[in-house]
Structure 1
């Protein structure tokens, strides 16, 4: 039997746009540009001879005919998906994902239950490491990196840039920090990890302050421990804004400075492509981008409120 089918790429673009209600969300899930998704939708509308969406300023709304067609198309894609999955029973492995400690502990881990709710059939095996991932020699599907991607069959998307802000628990420590009291004999100690010392120096330099008083501070093994100590009132930590945004929104931490310092150090989601790629990595990538977008909205609000301290 010969089938009369529209272009399959156009069908897929329509299905995802209808499900997400957004061309930009569909472009992220499909890994193509917003313009490409829009062209596919227009192509399908021309093929069918009627409008599938009402274009609105806040998204894409299915027409009555579009909603009926979408229900039928979505069912067809579900059948294809189920048939494809059934051929791989027993061979599917968890996404092997590597992230540095503070990213895994302070940003990713609290959000992973949401990924599990959205994708109950996808397992994630999270490993913590400070080393860069070599996809050519290591069994890793995706990683977090601050370095440019120079490896074959590996792509990346930017999640966050590096923005620093001094943070502490609310109270007297904050008052003294806002007054610039870092150097007196009884000043609140700075809480630092050895690897972060250069960033403290850059922060103080940008704020036109003398060198950080490391000798009177408390040194920790990693950044996450400095945040935990700050929450407990031990002193002042240098917060990566995206890592401490949740704490700042809930009041577990408060700003200890009136300004941020931004460095050109991006934090990227890096993932394997080609024949060795995990088929589930795209779902993880899209989810990461969505979560990062929500965190960046928090960061914008936090920075705006610094002007009122």
Structure 2
């Protein structure tokens, strides 16, 4: 048998009138007129078939039925209010939990994070690295930075930047392995460094550049992450596919160079994602604003 629950808005009005014993105070708390409060009480009394309040010259008082009903309804509303406060407190307080990839954290986020902490010293940031897409119902994360096409269900996503890739190596490696009269094709006949999770990058860039045949017989050395792949390039072990936004410091300092100067911007990109249905606390809003501002400034 279905449970009988009265209309919730009239029930809420009843709770406030019973708690305050005053129609005027109830109207002020609800930001409505006193007559609107009276109408809602009448709706509830009509549903229940009993009189809940005595209308007297100087206000209202609970009837016997009203007192009995209020003794159980008011604690129920107290429990709802307490549960809501706990939920909001747990979601809005504490550290900001950011989920992303190890490479993005190490090469992009961490070098820039001190600027966020300087602006928001009261917000602690905790970074969790993982490969699978975030599931906010399952994972302990407030926001995530993910790679893809931005079409994830049940999340709001902000585009950060597209995936721009091209070969990188050290200036010394370039000098040693380029061909006669500086021909660059020779670089592709030596060792190509490959990241396990981005193992198609070389083939896709070579196709884009029209150089697939030049590297058809080249040795390939694989590493477990892009960070290790780029470190191998820095150590002069070969030439790697770099992601320009991740290697800004190395490229700006000249530790790595882009010998072909042929960047390819792919359709997939990095996005900031957060739950679609969420009461967005200040810590999330602050981090989102800082992140988008930082990206926009650097892209400009």
Are 1:255 and 2:265 counterparts?
no
Are 1:110 and 2:115 counterparts?
no
Contact 1:146–1:265 (CA<8 Å) still a contact in 2?
yes
Following the alignment from structure 1 to structure 2, what is the Cα–Cα distance between the partners of residues 193 and 214?
18
C-alpha deviation, 1:161, in angstroms: 0.4
Contact 1:95–1:124 (CA<8 Å) still a contact in 2?
yes
Following the alignment from structure 2 to structure 1, what is the Cα–Cα distance between the partners of residues 176 and 236?
13
Q: Which has the larger radius of gyration?
A: 2
CA spacing shift, 1:273–1:119, aligned 2, 3 Å:
farther
Give the equivalent residue in structure 1 for 2:242. Answer: 239
- Larger displacement relative to structure 2 (281-290 or 204-213): 204-213
Residue 253 of structure 1 aligns to a residue whose secondary structure is coil
Residue 249 of structure 1 aligns to a residue whose secondary structure is helix
Contact 1:102–1:224 (CA<8 Å) still a contact in 2?
yes
Are 1:122 and 2:123 counterparts?
yes
Give the equivalent residue in structure 2 for 1:150. Answer: 152
CA spacing shift, 1:249–1:125, aligned 2, 3 Å:
same
1:61-100 to 2 correspondences below 5 Å: 92-100=93-101
C-alpha deviation, 1:168, in angstroms: 0.9
CA spacing shift, 1:161–1:204, aligned 2, 3 Å:
same
Following the alignment from structure 1 to structure 2, what is the Cα–Cα distance between the partners of residues 109 and 168?
23
Are 1:132 and 2:137 counterparts?
no
Q: Deviations over 1:264-309 (max 9, x none)?
A: 0111011135445443111101111122123323xxxxxxxxxxxx
Q: TM-score, normalised by structure 2?
A: 0.63
Following the alignment from structure 1 to structure 2, what is the Cα–Cα distance between the partners of residues 214 and 285?
45
Give the equivalent residue in structure 1 for 2:205. Answer: 203
Contact 1:166–1:255 (CA<8 Å) still a contact in 2?
yes
Contact 2:173–2:236 (CA<8 Å) still a contact in 1?
no
Number of aligned residue pairs: 207
Contact 1:174–1:256 (CA<8 Å) still a contact in 2?
no
C-alpha deviation, 1:136, in angstroms: 2.4
C-alpha deviation, 1:221, in angstroms: 0.3
2:289 to 270, 286, 290: 286
Residue 255 of structure 1 aligns to a residue whose secondary structure is coil
Give the equivalent residue in structure 2 for 1:181. Answer: 186
Q: Report the RMSD for the aligned CA atoms in angstroms.
A: 2.5
C-alpha deviation, 1:118, in angstroms: 0.7
Q: TM-score, normalised by structure 1?
A: 0.61
Following the alignment from structure 2 to structure 1, what is the Cα–Cα distance between the partners of residues 202 and 278?
43
Following the alignment from structure 2 to structure 1, what is the Cα–Cα distance between the partners of residues 205 and 169?
16
Contact 1:168–1:174 (CA<8 Å) still a contact in 2?
no
Contact 1:191–1:219 (CA<8 Å) still a contact in 2?
yes
Give the equivalent residue in structure 2 for 1:160. Answer: 161
Following the alignment from structure 2 to structure 1, what is the Cα–Cα distance between the partners of residues 134 and 269?
16
Residue 130 of structure 1 aligns to a residue whose secondary structure is coil
